[in-house]
Amino acid sequence: MAARTISEPQLPQSIPPRTKATGSTAAQQRSRDSTIAGVLLSLAGAAILMGFITAEALYSGVYTTHTNTVSHLGASEPPNSVVLQPSAAIFDITMLVTGP
């Protein structure tokens, strides 16, 4: 009996380049969007904090976080609401820019 030889399968001479899967680019886009959203939220939080600190420093009366609310930086409580500048302007502009 003659010995049988097993031939290995031949690969094609030119293998087409792999294309990126559409799922991976969508995942990369979501990751990038999440990163941008996180950075923007962090910047908004820092801006709010700095706006509060600046408005507190420039408040014309005695401002303490124990007796006053944060909205006192914009104006005093009704019915005798008084706007105290420049802390009110700083507080209002901070709230308009950051949009909480």
Written as six digits, the tokens of 70 are 């944060």
pLDDT at 74: 83
Buried b (16+ CB within 10 A) or exposed e, 36-46: eeeeeeeeeee
Grade residue 38 by pLDDT with cuts at 50, 70 and 90: very high
Mean per-residue pLDDT, 35-59: 92
d(CA 53, CA 56): 5
Question: For residue range 71-99, what is the model confidence (pLDDT) as tens digits?
Answer: 888 887 777 777 768 888 888 889 899 88
| CB atoms near residue 87 (< 10 Å) | 24
Grade residue 9 by pLDDT with cuts at 50, 70 and 90: low
pTM: 0.63
